[in-house]
């Protein structure tokens, strides 16, 4: 199948006794923007290190652009761009020197692939004589992405590119990814932020080294089996515990200033719940019916037995 | 090949951007040469003596003035109480007591032999030995004078003695600096080479840049070559710079062929650099690399024959020292610079270095892995 760029079957990786990746299988199509969503320790970085041939899997096989992860690792290194979670360019070299260095070791020049990185690089070009270590977080990200792109890779692996970046830069960054995707580049991106899931074509929700589900963000939400209410009260601390005792409640999570209450029953009566809470002496109770977010789905998947 | 050039270029950019690097390269050699060469000397000077002359005769005073006249001794005080002198020794104010007993002159004239006593602080055994040797020399010299003075002319003809004349080869003036400078230069090249290479790869690991390098098509050989060559160049430059400083400041002799020095240095640097690289591959932080390098450096340097003679080490230590690359290079440096030895003379040491370089380089390459 030529339209599959990344193919992985039953990958398993152990660090000593800890199972970092547990029987992972998935396919990523050509030109797809594929997200791995999961909390810290879910195994995202390990998976990316396996795919970029920095680590060897214990069992399982995989290929990137048709090249075997073990046998053809040299080819993979030529056609993939990797942006590790930790900023790992030379801090004591300038922006331009970093970019030039990575261009030359891939046997190309900045000039040759300038079109590809133009949109991103233009934003940091005014600072091209500044040392990379002296850039702000968002600019570092842009430089790292430029360096990962400079050899015109077929596949991009971005490991938590938006962690530690402000909200505006995050949005900007996703805009850039969209443009790269439109240029036909396959992008695999990992993130701990659930709200970024909706920006991907497809997402894999990961937890404890396992993929819980792979689907489009819309489908993930549609598959949510429960009904949701958002409940607000002045006493959120007691609210959580008391909601759990309410009949028909499946689960309760704190969600910012409110509590998300999931009911397994289809028919729910917000009025009855409101009465119940008032009896418990809660003031200024607000109850709204809401649609599930990726985070609600994630919580549900995390707790449901296989 | 082009890739190697780019890595070298990048390495140099980083080295010279590092603000502490230039001072290290240019000031370290000068400071080391000036301080170490002048300070680390075995020549005993300023031995502080307390004289307890209980005789106070012409003969005893002459003996005391003999010590006074020597550049090695510093007459601190004289007293009539041995106890007082001993107290001074305990306080660390003097190094040696010269005691001349009462009736020294009389005994010498009537019984034709008399005794004096040296009491030497021997906390440092080596300097005590030297002090003793110097003092004995002075006494012997004095003895001869007494002998000639008191003998009647008719007897002189019958006095037979063997005269020893000596000349010191390769270092005729017994200049300690001439001996030290070549060794210190080796020390310098070793420190620079081992630290630079030992810290380098591990630094890339620490700040994570190795990840980014590893996903590129750069292969192992290119990467290691790109790392070694810049430091090799810096090391060679450092040696040339050090030799110039040595020549200008200390006027060290350069009897042999300098080309031979640089040929050996080029091999020696490969030993040191790949050793550093090996350390880099087995450690995870710069701090660990620093400690491990330091450990090896101390052992190598103390056993290198720089300060103490290798020949006086126990047999097992001498055998162990065959593993010490610093020892070979110090030998080569001293042989070529001081003796003017040719290639044939240094070849055993040279080939040992070649074998060493081959082993440590291949070990470093084997140990370094792009995939963890």
Tell if the CB–CB gap between B215 and A78 is shorter than 8 Å: no
Q: What is the pLDDT of residue B42?
A: 64
Judging by beta carbons within 10 Å of its beta carbon (0-12, 13-18, 19+), is residue B11 exposed, middle or buried? Answer: buried
pLDDT of residue B213: 86
Beta carbons within 8 Å of A107's beta carbon, 6+ residues apart: A151, B2, B3, B217
Mind listing the pLDDT tens digit for each residue in A234-275?
A: 888 888 888 888 888 888 888 888 888 888 866 777 888 888
Instruction: Please answer yes or no on whether B217 and A74 come within 8 Å at the CB atom.
Output: yes
- pLDDT for residue B151: 66
Domain ranges of chain B: 2-40+173-367, 47-156
Which of A23-27, A195-199, B219-223, B366-370 shows the lowest mean pLDDT across its residues?
B366-370
In chain A the domains, ranked by start, together with CATH numbers, are 4-221 (3.40.50.300), 224-303 (3.30.70.100)
Judge whether A45 is closer than 8 Å to chain B, CB to CB: no
CATH topology of domain B47-156: abc type-2 transporter like fold (3.40.1710)
Which residue out of A46, A90, A107 would a mutagenesis test of the B interface target, given it has the greatest number of B Cβ atoms within 10 Å? A90
What DSSP character marks residue A73?
A: H
In b/e form, how buried is each residue of A10-47, taking b as 16+ CB within 10 angstroms? ebbbeeeeebbbeebebbbebbbbbbbbbeeebbbbbb
Tell me the per-residue pLDDT of A141-189, one tens digit each, with 9 for 90 and over.
Answer: 889 999 998 988 999 999 998 887 888 888 888 988 998 898 889 999 9
Distance CA A128, CA A146 (A): 12
Please state the rounded mean pLDDT for residues A38-48: 89
pLDDT tens digits, A272-289: 888 888 888 888 888 888
Main-chain phi, psi angles of A159, to 5 degrees: -95, 110
Q: Provide the pLDDT for residue A203.
A: 92
Chain B residues inside the 8 Å CB shell of A79: none
Residues, chain B: 372
Q: Which of A73, A78, A88 sits opposite B212 (nearest CB)?
A: A88
pLDDT, position B324 = 92
The predicted model gives A36-42 an average pLDDT of 88
Test the B interface: residue of A105, A154, A156 with most B CBs within 10 Å: A105
Band of the pLDDT at A96, cuts 50, 70, 90? Answer: very high
Mean pLDDT of A224-235: 84
Q: Does the distance separating the beta carbons of B371 and A54 come in below 8 Å?
A: yes
pLDDT at A27: 92
Query: Which residue among B3, B14, B214 sits closest to A92, beta carbon to beta carbon?
Result: B14
Distance from CA of A50 to the nearest CA of B (A): 10
> Does the distance separating the beta carbons of A90 and B10 come in below 8 Å?
yes
Spatial CB neighbours of B96, under 8 Å, sequence gap ≥ 6: B47, B48, B49, B50, B118, B119, B120, B121, B131, B135
Helix crossing, B286-302 with B258-282: angle to 10°?
Answer: 140
Q: Which residues of B touch A77 (CB under 8 A)?
A: 215-217
Report the pLDDT value the prediction gives residue B43, as an integer from 0 to 100: 65
Min Cα–Cα distance to chain A from B200, Å:
13
For chain B, residues with pLDDT lower than 70 are 40-44, 151-161, 163, 173-174, 370-372
Provide the pLDDT for residue A306: 52
Q: Answer yes or no: are the C-beta atoms of A102 and A84 closer than 8 Å.
A: no
Contact B208 A54 (CB under 8 A): no
Q: Are strands A33-37 and A59-64 parallel, antiparallel or unpaired?
A: unpaired
By the CB < 8 Å criterion, does A56 face chain B?
Answer: yes
Rounded to a whole number of angstroms, the distance from the CA of A204 to the nearest CA of chain B is: 24
Taking CB atoms and an 8 Å limit, are A78 and B6 in contact across chains?
no
Q: Cβ contacts (< 8 Å) between A89 and chain B: which residues? A: 209, 212
pLDDT at A1 over 50: no
């Amino acid at each position: 199948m030529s339209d599959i760029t990344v193919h992985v079957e039953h990958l398993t990786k152990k660090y000593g006794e800890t199972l970092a990746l547990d029987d992972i299988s998935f396919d990523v199509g050509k030109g797809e923007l594929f997200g791995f969503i999961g909390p810290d320790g879910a195994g995202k970085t390990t998976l990316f290190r396996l795919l970029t041939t920095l680590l060897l899997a214990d069992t399982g096989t995989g290929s990137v652009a048709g090249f075997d992860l073990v046998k053809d690792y040299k080819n993979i290194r030529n056609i993939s761009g990797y942006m590790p979670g930790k900023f790992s360019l030379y801090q004591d070299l300038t922006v331009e020197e970093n970019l030039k260095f990575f261009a030359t070791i891939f046997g190309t020049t900045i000039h040759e692939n300038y079109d590809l990185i133009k949109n991103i690089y233009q934003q940091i070009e005014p600072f091209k004589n500044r040392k990379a270590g002296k850039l702000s977080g968002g600019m570092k990200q842009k430089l790292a992405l430029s360096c990962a792109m400079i050899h015109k890779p077929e596949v991009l692996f971005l490991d938590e590119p938006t962690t530690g970046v402000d909200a505006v830069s995050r949005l900007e960054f996703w805009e850039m990814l969209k443009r790269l995707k439109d240029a036909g580049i396959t992008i695999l991106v990992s993130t701990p932020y659930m709200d970024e899931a909706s920006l991907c074509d497809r997402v894999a929700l990961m937890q404890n080294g396992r993929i819980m589900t792979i689907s489009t963000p819309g489908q993930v939400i549609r598959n949510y089996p429960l009904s949701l209410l958002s409940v607000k009260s002045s006493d959120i601390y007691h609210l959580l515990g008391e909601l759990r005792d309410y009949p028909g409640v499946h689960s309760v999570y704190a969600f910012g200033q409110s509590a998300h209450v999931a009911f397994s029953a289809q028919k729910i009566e917000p009025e009855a719940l409101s009465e119940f809470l008032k009896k418990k002496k809660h003031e200024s109770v607000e109850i709204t019916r809401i649609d599930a977010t990726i985070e609600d789905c994630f919580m549900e998947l995390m707790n449901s037995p296989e | 090949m082009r890739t190697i050039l780019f890595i070298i270029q990048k390495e140099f950019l980083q080295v010279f951007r590092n603000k502490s690097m230039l001072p290290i390269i240019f000031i370290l050699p000068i400071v080391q040469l000036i301080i170490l060469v002048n300070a680390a000397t075995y020549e005993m000077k300023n031995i502080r003596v307390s004289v307890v002359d209980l005789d106070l005769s012409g003969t005893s005073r002459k003996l005391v003035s003999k010590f006074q006249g020597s550049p090695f001794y510093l007459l601190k005080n004289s007293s009539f109480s041995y106890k007082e002198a001993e107290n001074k020794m305990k306080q660390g104010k003097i190094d040696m007591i010269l005691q001349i007993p009462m009736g020294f002159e009389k005994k010498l004239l009537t019984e034709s032999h008399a005794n004096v006593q040296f009491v030497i602080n021997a906390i440092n055994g080596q300097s005590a030995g030297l002090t003793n040797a110097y003092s004995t020399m002075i006494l012997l010299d004095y003895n001869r004078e007494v002998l000639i003075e008191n003998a009647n002319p008719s007897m002189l003809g019958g006095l037979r003695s063997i005269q020893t004349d000596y000349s010191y080869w390769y270092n005729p003036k017994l200049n300690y600096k001439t001996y030290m400078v070549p060794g210190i230069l080796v020390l310098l090249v070793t420190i620079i080479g081992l630290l630079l290479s030992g810290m380098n790869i591990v630094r890339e690991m620490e700040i994570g840049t190795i990840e980014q390098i590893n996903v590129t098509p750069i292969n192992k050989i290119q990467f290691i070559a790109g790392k070694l060559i810049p430091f090799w160049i810096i090391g060679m430059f450092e040696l040339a710079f050090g030799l110039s400083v040595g020549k200008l400041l200390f006027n060290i002799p350069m009897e042999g062929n300098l080309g031979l020095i640089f040929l050996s240095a080029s091999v020696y640097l490969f030993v040191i650099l790949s050793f550093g690289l090996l350390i880099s591959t087995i450690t995870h932080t710069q701090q660990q690399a620093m400690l491990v390098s330091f450990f090896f450096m101390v052992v190598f340097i103390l056993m290198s024959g720089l300060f103490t003679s290798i020949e006086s080490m126990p047999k097992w230590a001498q055998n162990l020292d065959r593993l010490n690359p610093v020892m070979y290079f110090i030998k080569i440096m001293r042989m070529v610079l001081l003796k003017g030895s040719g290639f044939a003379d240094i070849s055993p040491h040279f080939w040992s270095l070649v074998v060493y370089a081959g082993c440590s380089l291949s070990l470093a390459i084997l140990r370094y892995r792009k995939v963890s």
